[in-house]
Chain A
Amino acid sequence: DQQVKQNSPSLSVQEGRISILNCDYTNSMFDYFLWYKKYPAEGPTFLISISSIKDKNEDGRFTVFLNKSAKHLSLHIVPSQPGDSAVYFCAASRVTGNQFYFGTGTSLTVIP
């Protein structure tokens, strides 16, 4: 049972434009949502997170939006840069839990 879903396996965006990556979840008990970025042959690196008590968190070019009623979150990258080309994983966890649940990833390509 996939509790965190990323329904778009890939996304291509022109440099300078906005990239929007989407994620859906099924468990309303999740407390934290995270985005990880992964380059080939490297481990995932933490990008940005959001608590379930918030609906937006911003860090430089990266903003995560959370819509709890729709059980949906999205990552916005503005402006997109070629170095942003990577696989992005959405993850969720509970404060009282010990594990993360990951989506299947979205491969972002930013075209120069």
Chain B
Amino acid sequence: NAGVTQTPKFRILKIGQSMTLQCTQDMNHNYMYWYRQDPGMGLKLIYYSVGAGITDKGEVPNGYNVSRSTTEDFPLRLELAAPSQTSVYFCANRDRGAAEAFFGQGTRLTVV
């Protein structure tokens, strides 16, 4: 029972490159989230999904895209990496009706 799994753990990208941050869960929770955490800041919501086939924007969606074709997977896509996207990215899930969310271990992304 792995919970929420993110890959990769670390990545360095050049400006303008693209990549996909992977997130998968084995908890069968409906809700999934992508957050970013910048130094000294709280977690900012990028995108979220309330179920397969449904996604919605959070506070800071610009420069990102997501998809939710299955309950298990919620990948985050960066099309044209920019230095402002240097951050630690966390994927999380939550069961419907539950208060708490469960987080993955994070992906540290550096754009140079």
**Majority DSSP secondary structure for residues of B touching A:** strand
- By the criterion CB–CB under 8 Å, are B45 and A45 in contact? no
Stretch of B14-22, B63-71, B76-84, B97-105 lying at the A interface: B97-105
- Our pick among B35, B101, B106 for the contact of A41 (Cβ within 8 Å) is B106
Chain B interface size range? 20 to 34
Q: Give the distance in Å from the alpha carbon of A45 to the alpha carbon of B103 in the complex.
A: 7
Q: Is the pair A102, B48 in contact by a Cβ cutoff of 8 Å?
A: no
Q: How far is the CA of A102 from the CA of B58 in the complex (A)?
A: 13
B99/A32 in contact, CB under 8 A: yes
Q: Do A99 and B43 touch (CB < 8 A)?
A: no
CA distance A24 to B56 in the complex (A): 27
Contact, CB under 8 Å: B103 / A102: no
Is B74's CB within 8 Å of the partner chain A?
A: no
CA distance A44 to B92 in the complex (A): 9
Chain B residues with CB under 8 Å of A36's CB are: 103
B41 within 8 A of A: yes
Q: Are A43 and B45 also in contact (CB < 8 A) when A9-B40, A49-B99, A98-B50 are?
A: no
- Complex contacts, B100 vs chain A, CB 8 Å: 34, 46, 49
Knowing A98-B56, A99-B58, the reply to whether A104 touches B41 (Cβ < 8 A) is yes
Known pairs A34-B100, A98-B56, A99-B58. 15 more at Cβ < 8 A? A4-B42, A9-B40, A42-B106, A43-B105, A43-B106, A45-B103, A46-B100, A51-B99, A89-B42, A98-B31, A98-B48, A100-B101, A102-B42, A104-B41, A105-B42
